[in-house]
Copies of this chain bind each other. A is one copy, B any other.
Amino acid sequence: MKIHELEKRMKEAGFKLTNQRLSLLSVLDKFSETMVTAEELLTECQKDYPATNITTVYRNLILLEGLRLLHKTSDSKGKSLYKLVCSDEHHHHMVCLDCGKVESFDFCPLEELRKITERNNFRLVEHNLELYGVCSECDKKINEE
């Protein structure tokens, strides 16, 4: 989703387009392939609009999540990571443990999973499939050292 569309969605939802918000959207867009922390977002936002405050970043992240424009997960130590949602079809992610980059893939074993849950009379609501490893670029860097 491009930045103009994001701004439009916020506006449509009745939110004001403040400098802090515009800055955050542009930063999130810049990092759209990588999971990033609130702190990292703040640092970037401040390059662009120095007065930005961490509280405001958090408040706007919550808001974007509510609009289903933001994907939130947490790292192994429980710290939250954010990334704009991808706009395409249902898919899953492979996440680089080194640089945080996220790549998508379309494969989903949902049919198999349904068979399993039905067999257990388990009412499936959602599922989570993620791959963790080292992306080709980081792997290359590591080998060069």
Contact = CB atoms under 8 A, between A and B. Distances in A.
A66 interface: no
Interface of A: 74, 78, 80, 94, 96-97, 103, 105, 107, 109, 112-113, 116-117, 120-136, 139
Contacts of A120: 94, 103, 105, 135-136
Tallying the copies of this chain within the complex gives: 2
B136 A126 contact: no
A133 B130 CA distance: 18
Contacts of A133: 117, 122-126
A120 B109 CA distance: 19
A96 to B, nearest CB: 8
